Structure 1
Amino acid sequence: MEIFGYIASIFIGISLGLIGGGGSILTVPVLVYLFGIDAFLATEYSLFIVGISSLVGSFSYFKKGLVDLKTAFIFGVPSIVSIFLTRNFLLPLIPDEVFIMRNFVLTKNIFLLLVFAVLMIIASYKMIQKKAELKIEKVPSQNNNILLAAGEGSVVGILTGLMGAGGGFMIIPALVNLLKIPMKVAIGTSLVIISLNSLVGFFSSIDHIKIEWSLLGRISAIAIIGIIIGSQLSNKIDGKKLKPAFGWFILVMGIYIVIKELFF
């Protein structure tokens, strides 16, 4: 199954480079089901893979002037604080056996996968509803917009810390709708935020787990190749047109995880 895992790793990067998000949603399922990695450890690996590949992908957008550093700061600082608190204090509170009823035991691994599946389903809805996502909403105050963006940054940080997902599906709509940032700049800025969030999350809890660096390095290298391809394709292909199709794929994956973990 590992060969399929490496192939899927390319698409993780391509998605991040092309539409500024979505790749992190694929990472944990790829690690768990194709590489056979424990769900908790997969969230840690996902942070590094998504973080390092997003960092590389952001360079091409930065060189083109398509990164808003001020916005990355506004959105990123609350996210980083939330990630640190989640990885070091919230995640360790989840017991190994979350729920027990007769012959059914909801373990920590299954719980994390089910929460991740719900996250995938929510992400798929936002990707499929592309028109609603790109609609510029009228709000009374720019200061309110900034506060809302910072608040959403905190929510993204909690999700990133808990699930190892970069949160691009939430970041880009917030940048476009609340802060009125053009889509191309939103993608580049999203990659910067995702890279900071993910790498901070990874290194804040690295002391608590054993990392298989050779495997992590191979997957990350392939994802980086994918994000370079995706960044180049973004010059020729409109990522917004591919987002709904990718959303349907994520929806099917999310439903599959729920069915597999609860019934098989």
Structure 2
Amino acid sequence: MTALAALGLGLVIGAFLGALGGGGAILTVPALVYLLGQSARDATTSSLIIVGAAALTGMIGYARSGHVRWRLGVMFGIAGTAAAYLGTALNRQVNQHYLLIAFAVVMGLAATGMLLRARNRKPEPATASVGAARFAGPAESSDAERTVAARAASPVGEAPARSREFGQGSRWTAGAKILVAGLGVGFMTGFFGVGGGFVIVPVLVLLFDLSMPVAAATSLLIIAINSAASLVARAGTAHFHWAIIVPFTIAAMAASLAGKTIAGRLPDRLLTRIFAAMLIAIGLFVAVQNIAQIS
């Protein structure tokens, strides 16, 4: 029965992860704790395997469509590796109820940022093609416009490519953004035991001006790197419940491919609102549950 429950939850979480590039781990940790009976620390370890494997699988579909920003994703992930080790060390020292309350607070902050971004975005241009409008959000169009302008202003093609990859700003500004954001996300990955998609996607949207589909695709690469680093940091001290992890992971990997198809059929702004609503709902549930147990 536990294996069947893990299989069903994996299908749901994999679909969210593939469609939104984040949220899988947010669902995974509460599901492992409240539905499958794991402790918070065991759940955070199990989720790293589940979400990391599902992220790699989901990234395949996005890579074929050319939506993964490879250089940005690799640099972002590497920047967070050392911080992931620090977060893992702190995870072992914190009471699990306080850990989950902090987890809920971060979810709320991320959801707020995403909702503000969705409200302030301009509508898609009417001249966009049907295929582009279906998968490329407003920021994607603005990236293209900036690229054309930059190419006209400079005979060197490197600057426009960097603009597309890292958003507006100089190389040093982009590097500083990647370093700071990567360290923060890496720490959260190690501390909360999640892939970090619920933070990575808002960061990529807000700081690098990527559309939701491109941010989702790139976040999957970052999630895989951060998850691997955090798992290495936990090696030797973690407990792995393979009877739960294996079916959960297989189902999540399969469903993450379907999630990419779902994302291609929904508007960018709707995806943003779905993501934010999911963060708020689960964050409230986790906070109420753990505050009640502390009181």
Kindly indicate whether the alpha-carbon contact (under 8 Å) linking 1:52 and 1:220 is maintained by their aligned counterparts in 2: yes
Instruction: Please tell me the root mean square deviation across aligned C-alpha atoms, in Å.
Output: 2.6
The partner residue of 1:178 within 207, 217, 238 is: 207
Q: Which amino acid aligns with 1:211?
A: F
Compared CA separation, residues 33 and 72, structure 1 to 2 (3 A) = same
Shift of 1:217: 0.6
Q: Which amino acid aligns with 1:45?
A: S
Distance in 2 between residues matched to 1:22 and 1:236, nearest whole Å: 19
Q: Which amino acid aligns with 1:90?
A: L
Compared CA separation, residues 71 and 139, structure 1 to 2 (3 A) = closer
Q: Which amino acid aligns with 1:19?
A: L
1:224-243 mapped onto 2 (5 Å cutoff): 224-238=253-267, 240-243=269-272
Kindly indicate whether the alpha-carbon contact (under 8 Å) linking 2:48 and 2:193 is maintained by their aligned counterparts in 1: yes
More relative contact order in 1 or in 2 (CA 8 Å, sep 6+)?
2
Distance in 1 between residues matched to 2:250 and 2:268, nearest whole Å: 23
TM-score, scaled to structure 2: 0.76
1:262 aligns with 2:284: no
- Counterpart of 1:91 in structure 2 is 91
Q: What secondary structure, in the 3-state scheme, does the structure 1 residue paired with 2:208 have?
A: coil
Shift of 1:70: 1.1
Q: What secondary structure, in the 3-state scheme, does the structure 2 residue paired with 1:243 have?
A: helix
The partner residue of 1:118 within 105, 116, 120 is: 105
Distance in 2 between residues matched to 1:57 and 1:130, nearest whole Å: 25
- Counterpart of 2:175 in structure 1 is 146
- Counterpart of 2:279 in structure 1 is 250
Compared CA separation, residues 169 and 223, structure 1 to 2 (3 A) = same
- Which string of whole-angstrom CA distances, capped at 9 and with x for unpartnered residues, describes residues 62-94 of structure 1? 12222222111221111112112322x3333x1
1:2-41 mapped onto 2 (5 Å cutoff): 2=2, 6-41=7-42
Unpaired stretches in structure 2, ≥5 consecutive residues: 123-138, 143-166
Kindly indicate whether the alpha-carbon contact (under 8 Å) linking 2:181 and 2:203 is maintained by their aligned counterparts in 1: yes
Distance in 2 between residues matched to 1:80 and 1:189, nearest whole Å: 17
Shift of 1:197: 0.7
1:147-162 mapped onto 2 (5 Å cutoff): 147-162=176-191
1:11-90 mapped onto 2 (5 Å cutoff): 11-87=12-88, 89-90=89-90
Q: Larger Cα Rg: Structure 1 or Structure 2?
A: 2
Identity of aligned residues (%): 31
Kindly indicate whether the alpha-carbon contact (under 8 Å) linking 1:128 and 1:245 is maintained by their aligned counterparts in 2: no
Alignment size in residue pairs: 250
Shift of 1:176: 3.6
Kindly indicate whether the alpha-carbon contact (under 8 Å) linking 2:212 and 2:271 is maintained by their aligned counterparts in 1: no
Q: What secondary structure, in the 3-state scheme, does the structure 2 residue paired with 1:66 have?
A: coil
